[in-house]
Amino acid sequence: MILKEVKARKIKNSNGEEAIEVEIDGCRASAPSGKSRGKHESKPYYRNINFCVKFLNGWRDELEINEFNDLEKAEEVIRRNLGLKDAKKFGGNSLFAFESAILKALAKEKGKELWEIINPKARKIPFPVGNAVGGGKHSSNKNKPVFQEFLLIPQENSIRKNIKVMKKLYKRIGKLVKGNGRDDEGAWQTSLNYQEILGVLSKLGVEIGIDVAASSFYRQGSYFYKNKPIERREHIRRMNEIASKYDLLYLEDPLQEEDFRGFSEIKGRLIVGDDLTVTNLNRIKRAVLKKSINAVVVKPNQNGSLLEVKDVVDFCKKKEIKTIFSHRAGETMDSALADYAFGFQADYIKTGIFGKERKAKLKRLARIERRLKNL
């Protein structure tokens, strides 16, 4: 494939915010935006979205792209033309949308699926992690749970069955938690506290988890539960108690994003880094060295470079660290996350349950699963 023309534009994401969309040879790719962002993740755009759109629309370099690793050629052009040492400085959103559009166009030319460009031998469908009840930064409720996400993780033998389980339980949960509207990820909003919500979810017969997003309620050395400060040791004790009492499969960001040592003191099945690790290989290596985690959230636009996303996944597989490819709060209709989760053979995919932007990823996984049966 010869890359010589790039079109870029602004669109709106699920939260009504500006998002970048890139088109190459008729193939469009867009990047989501996060509301709860780790302070170490890549900035969304170099300077601003308008600059990145203008830069891509002014693309003049002709590149031959034949395989995934040829993304390095595109990154080199960005580094050279903008005087950057690292292409990620172009912005996590702008770089990811650009590289994703390149891979989609390459797949189109070769008559392949997007995931086949990454790994034609991929066969394992990731388990879905569905955000059923929301709190923290994602919820607009005045009286809301302090934890950010309460998650369903069904583990049937097909993605189609898992989607069906999540949909059925999601409706039931809305009544059980007295849901009063939905947050920006489509999860139920409620005035129940985290103990009451976990009490409901723990009786549903599926694996469950939480995204604590502890950095969002950490200030000056304490964790604030409804304005009541709790010191670090007590918070660690509480996290361990919750993980044990409700038999959580999944515990994400139980401590603030700099506390690698504290993470290592959390006992549970999957101790997941997101704000701690921000899809950054150096931070993930540090977390593994300190035994802080045994699972990592992978958000491609947290990094921007799909080449580095591959390095992250390869390292995690080598160290037996589980990977969870994840959506963001402000999503688009682009379903490529499903292809990346499958192509990189992630263990889980976090997409949400409700909303057309979330369902697009799940439907794409179901289509991939159907295609596998014909291979």
Q: How many CB atoms lie within 10 A of CB 234?
A: 12
Check whether residue 221 and residue 192 sit in a common domain.
Answer: yes
Check whether residue 208 and residue 250 sit in a common domain.
Answer: yes
Check whether residue 365 and residue 237 sit in a common domain.
Answer: yes
Q: Which whole number is the average pLDDT over 176-201?
A: 95
Check whether residue 73 and residue 178 sit in a common domain.
Answer: no
User: Which of 98, 118, 138 delimits the end of a domain?
Assistant: 118
Check whether residue 110 and residue 131 sit in a common domain.
Answer: no
Check whether residue 93 and residue 190 sit in a common domain.
Answer: no
Q: What's the pLDDT at 95?
A: 98
Report yes or no: 139 and 189 within 8 Å, Cβ to Cβ: yes
**Using the 8-state DSSP alphabet, how is residue 219 labeled?**
E
Identity at 275, one-letter amino acid code = D
Sign for the CA dihedral angle at 302, 300, 357, 50 comes to positive
Q: How confident is the model at residue 226 (pLDDT cuts 50, 70, 90)?
A: confident
In the structure encoding, which two tokens stand for residue 339, read together? 């292809």
Q: Is the pLDDT of residue 173 over 80?
A: yes
Q: How confident is the model at residue 93 (pLDDT cuts 50, 70, 90)?
A: very high
| pLDDT, greater one: 39 or 151 | 151
Q: What's the pLDDT at 227?
A: 84
Which of the residues are catalytic?
A: 185, 299
Q: What's the pLDDT at 261?
A: 98
Give residue-wise pLDDT tens across range 311-323.
999 999 999 999 9
Q: Is the pLDDT of residue 375 over 70?
A: no
Check whether residue 229 and residue 323 sit in a common domain.
Answer: yes
User: Which of 66, 97, 118 delimits the end of a domain?
Assistant: 118
Q: Which domain holds residue 327?
A: 127-372
Q: Is the pLDDT of residue 43 over 90?
A: yes
Check whether residue 163 and residue 270 sit in a common domain.
Answer: yes
pTM: 0.96
CATH number at residue 313: 3.20.20.120
The angle formed by the CA atoms of residues 244, 250 and 254, to the nearest 5 degrees, is 80
Q: Give the closest residue to 173 by CA, choosing from 153, 195, 190, 148.
A: 190
Check whether residue 131 and residue 108 sit in a common domain.
Answer: no
Check whether residue 328 and residue 196 sit in a common domain.
Answer: yes
User: Which of 97, 118, 139 delimits the end of a domain?
Assistant: 118
Q: What's the pLDDT at 36?
A: 65
Report yes or no: 17 and 44 within 8 Å, Cβ to Cβ: no
Cα atoms in the 13 Å half-sphere on the side-chain side of 152: 29
Least trusted range by pLDDT, from 15-19, 177-181, 326-330: 177-181
SS3 232: helix
Give residue-wise pLDDT tens across range 103-160.
999 999 999 999 999 999 999 999 999 999 999 887 878 789 999 999 999 999 999 9
SS3 162: helix
CATH number at residue 25: 3.30.390.10
Check whether residue 162 and residue 36 sit in a common domain.
Answer: no
| Number of domains observed in the structure of the chain | 2
Give residue-wise pLDDT tens across range 51-84.
999 999 999 999 999 999 999 999 999 999 999 9
Q: How confident is the model at residue 48 (pLDDT cuts 50, 70, 90)?
A: very high
In the structure encoding, which two tokens stand for residue 191, read together? 């005035």
According to DSSP, the residues that pair with 19 across neighbouring strands are 11
Give residue-wise pLDDT tens across range 298-343.
999 999 999 999 999 999 999 999 999 999 999 999 999 999 999 9
Report the side by side order of strands in the sheet with 27-30. Answer: 7-12, 18-24, 27-30
**Using the 8-state DSSP alphabet, how is residue 268 labeled?**
S
CA separation for the pair 91, 47 (Å, rounded):
9
Tell how far CA 362 is from the center of its chain: 14
Check whether residue 160 and residue 86 sit in a common domain.
Answer: no
Q: What's the pLDDT at 142?
A: 79
